[in-house]
């Protein structure tokens, strides 16, 4: 079984889609090694994860457009807004 999984992984990673994934991971890794990326990781390790968790829990009963509700709840807190701002800064979007 491990041989099959390795072969599937090699096959996937040698495909054009696999190369996109690798390039994306390389990009995110480079971003996380910047000062802003380290600050983002620190925020997530601190109260930022609490803000994300609270926002996610608040959207559980919402059936219509949970992504929008999650983002709205996240941005309604000081910590969540700071976290979102740091993600935008680090990602350059």
Residues 83/74, Cβ–Cβ less than 8 Å: yes
Helices (H), 1-93: 2-13, 16-32, 35-45, 47-59, 66-75, 78-91
Please count the other Cβ atoms lying within 10 Å of the Cβ belonging to residue 59. 19
Overall pTM surpassing 0.75 (yes/no): no
Measured in degrees and rounded to the nearest 5, phi and psi for residue 33 equal -90, 5
pLDDT beneath 70: ranges in the chain: 1-2, 48, 56, 58-64, 93
Hey, where are the domains in the chain? 1-33, 34-93
């Amino acid at each position: 079984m491990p041989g099959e999984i390795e072969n599937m992984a090699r096959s996937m990673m040698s495909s054009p889609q696999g190369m996109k994934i690798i390039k994306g991971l390389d990009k995110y890794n480079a971003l996380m090694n910047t000062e802003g990326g380290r600050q983002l990781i620190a925020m997530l390790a601190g109260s930022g994860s609490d803000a994300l968790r609270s926002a996610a829990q608040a959207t559980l009963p919402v059936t219509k457009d949970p992504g929008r509700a999650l983002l709205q709840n996240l941005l309604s807190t000081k910590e969540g807004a700071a976290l979102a701002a740091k993600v935008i800064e680090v990602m350059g979007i």
